[in-house]
Each structure stands twice: as structure tokens, then as C-alpha cells.
Amino acid sequence: MKSILKSAIYPITILGPLISAHTLAVQCYDTVLTPTVLVQPLNCELTITNPYALTIVGPTGSLRMLGAGQIECNNTLDEGNAGILVKGISASVIGGKIDSCPNGIELDGIGSHTILNTQILDFTDNGISVTSSYNTISNSKTIGLNGSVHGIVINDKSNYNTINNNYISSAGSDGINVNGQYTSITLNEIENNGLNGIKIDADNSTISNNLLKFNTDDGIDIETGFNTVSGNVVIENGEDGIELEGTGSENIVTFNYVDNNFEVGITIDSLTTINNTVKNNTSINNGLDLNDDSENMTCTNQINNWSNNDVGPTGTSNPPCLKDQ
């Protein structure tokens, strides 16, 4: 059943029956083509016919949620896709809350969209799913349900996205999962996710100045190359603090603080993970502070470059000479 809000809002354009935008507020399943303000709750049942609560189309369409403005999904039929679908170019969603939707927001179309100051709660799939490029997600919060997938997922061929200053928690898998190149991830707090805080499966990402804690597996897991990991605080994760594995090469891991992770603080876990630089980090109080599976007992292989890493007076490494490089 459509939920119709009777309060006055800014003028909007709606695809559908020709009704005056001044007398009809935002309804479930509307396509928004102009700047629009939502000030009351919108509860939408998602179906095969109407899999999105709202669709925002840029460059002219935008949604600002103020006061009580929020979107809640009813997906009992398990046929819905997301609370909001963002299409076109340079659309925006600002403020408010999106609750109990499969995906909170899907960023589609050409891209250059903005998500700002939005709470996405109790999602069952992904908090934000990105299938376009040059988008910015900032100052927002994603908190998932048990069994959900990722807090934010950057899908394949979705490049040059920015994830900045968000709180990301309780996703069933990764807090942030990256499959698109040139992703910037900075100043986020990422905790209590079911797998990794950040998982990188694409080249040329920058991961800097984030706080990653209490994630079930790794704080940061990288399987690709040419990524930079710097200035992060990575503490009390269930497996490794920072893990480089797979065929990843030419990664730079520097100036990170890695403390009290259950298995290894900073680890290179594969013989095919080569030509990486790990330097100027602090890695203390971990199960093992430093590890490189490709290095020999005298640290003369030097397939990867380790230098000036601080493990404290009782720190440990494999091989033991690695901590002295």
C-alpha cells in the first residue's frame, strides 16, 4: 500500500499521474527529479513491481531528509532491492534515516553522487551498494543486521569513489568491500563487522587515518596491488591487523599503529605477495607482531621491503630477524 504524506514540501516533479506537486508530498515509489525535502516518515512495502521506496535521478534530482524525515522498508515478501535508488549524474541524498531495507542505498547510473549525513540501519544486504564512479559517501552511519552482507560495497568497474568520515558497524561480512579501482577510504570508524573491517580486491586504493577495531577477521585485508595503507589505528581484531595476501604487489604499508590483534599485527601471507613495502609502523601486543611467509631465517630474500617497524621491547616476528630490519 502506498504511504502518502499530506504535509507541504518543496516543489517536486513526479513521474506518474499529473498531480500538482504543491498539494501532494513524496509518496512511496516516486521518482524524484528536482530538489525535494522529506519531513515525515515514509513506510514502503517493497515488491517485484516496486522494488525501491524512492528513485532519485540527477543532475536535477536530490533528496534532503529533515526532522522526522526517514524511509522505512517493509520487505516481508523478500522482493525488494533498496530504500533509495540513485541514478543519472550528480544526485544527492542528505540527512535522515533509511531503516530495514535490503540495501539502504544503491548508487547507479553515471555517478558523481553524494551521500551525506545519512543513517542506514538494520539493512539485510548492503548498507550502500555502489555500481558507478566518482561518488562521495561521507559523515554517514551504516549498522547492519546479523546475516547482512557489507556496510559499503564498491562493485567492479566502479572507480574513483571516496568514503570519508563514516561510522560502519555490524555488517555480516566486511565493513567496506572494494572491487573498484582508485578508492579513497579515510577517517572512518569501522568496528564489529562479521569478517574484515576493510577488504580490498582492486588496485590503487588509499586507506588512511581510519580506526578499525573488534572486527571478526582482519582489520584490513588486501589481495591486490599498488595500494597505500597509512596512518590507520588497527586494534583488537579477531585475526590479523593488516594482511597482504594473494598476488598483491607494490603495496605500501606505513605509519600504522597496530595493537592487540589476536593473530598477527602485520602479515604477508603468500609467496606470491611480492615487492611490498612495510616500514615505520608500530605493531605491538599482537599474537605475532610481524610475519612474512616469503622471507628466510636470515632475512636475505628481501622479496618485500621491511624497515624501521617498532614492535616494542618484547615484540615478536617470523622470521625472528624481521623485527630488526
Look at residue 241 in the predicted model and tell me its pLDDT: 98
Residue 157 forms part of a structural domain: no
Look at residue 37 in the predicted model and tell me its pLDDT: 96
Residue 173 · residue 146 · CB < 8 Å: no
Residue 102 · residue 128 · CB < 8 Å: no
Residue 322 · residue 291 · CB < 8 Å: yes
Nearest to 231 by CA among 213, 253, 200: 253
Residue 83 · residue 101 · CB < 8 Å: yes
What's 302's domain CATH number? 2.160.20.10
Note down the domain range covering 219. 174-325
Same domain, 110 and 194: no
**Residues near 5 by beta carbon (within 8 Å), at least 6 away in sequence:** 25, 26, 27, 38, 40, 42
Q: Please identify, among 113, 148, 183, the residue that sits at the C-terminal boundary of a domain.
A: 148
**Residues near 23 by beta carbon (within 8 Å), at least 6 away in sequence:** none
Look at residue 25 in the predicted model and tell me its pLDDT: 75
Same domain, 13 and 116: yes
Look at residue 175 in the predicted model and tell me its pLDDT: 98
HSE-CB for 216 with a 13 A CA cutoff: 11
Number of domain units in the chain: 2
Residue 274 forms part of a structural domain: yes
Instruction: Compute the chain's Rg from CA coordinates.
Output: 22
Whole-angstrom distance, CA of residue 50 vs CA of residue 82: 10
Residue 177 · residue 155 · CB < 8 Å: no
Residue 183 forms part of a structural domain: yes
Tell me the backbone φ, ψ of residue 111, rounded to 5 degrees: 115, -150
Same domain, 20 and 104: yes
**DSSP-derived secondary structure letter, 320:** G
Residue 1, number of CB atoms within 10 A of its CB: 8
Same domain, 127 and 209: no
**DSSP-derived secondary structure letter, 323:** G
Residue 217, number of CB atoms within 10 A of its CB: 20
Whole-angstrom distance, CA of residue 170 vs CA of residue 147: 9
Render each residue's pLDDT in the chain as its tens digit; 325 residues: 333 333 333 333 334 333 333 224 799 999 999 999 999 999 999 999 999 999 999 999 999 999 999 999 999 999 999 999 999 999 999 999 999 999 999 999 999 999 999 999 999 999 999 999 999 999 999 999 999 999 999 999 999 999 999 999 999 999 999 999 999 999 999 999 999 999 999 999 999 999 999 999 999 999 999 999 999 999 999 999 999 999 889 999 999 999 999 999 999 999 999 999 999 999 999 999 999 999 999 999 999 999 999 999 999 999 999 999 9
**DSSP-derived secondary structure letter, 4:** B
Residue 168 forms part of a structural domain: no
**Kind of pairing between the strands at 233-235 and 136-138:** unpaired
Q: Please identify, among 110, 133, 148, the residue that sits at the C-terminal boundary of a domain.
A: 148
Same domain, 179 and 323: yes
Same domain, 86 and 210: no
Supply the DSSP string of 30-73, one letter for each residue.
EEE-SEEEE-SEEEEE--SS--EEEEEETTT-EEEE-TT-EEEE
Same domain, 194 and 96: no
Q: Tell me whether residue 4 is exposed, middle or buried, using C-beta atoms within 10 angstroms of its C-beta: 0 to 12, 13 to 18, 19 or more.
A: exposed
Same domain, 80 and 209: no
Residue 164 forms part of a structural domain: no
Residue 153 forms part of a structural domain: no
Q: Please identify, among 106, 130, 148, the residue that sits at the C-terminal boundary of a domain.
A: 148
Same domain, 211 and 94: no
Residue 159 forms part of a structural domain: no
Look at residue 4 in the predicted model and tell me its pLDDT: 30
**Kind of pairing between the strands at 305-307 and 128-130:** unpaired
Same domain, 242 and 180: yes
Same domain, 108 and 178: no
**DSSP-derived secondary structure letter, 89:** B
Q: Which three cell numbers stand for residue 81?
A: 532491492
Same domain, 100 and 141: yes
Residue 259 forms part of a structural domain: yes
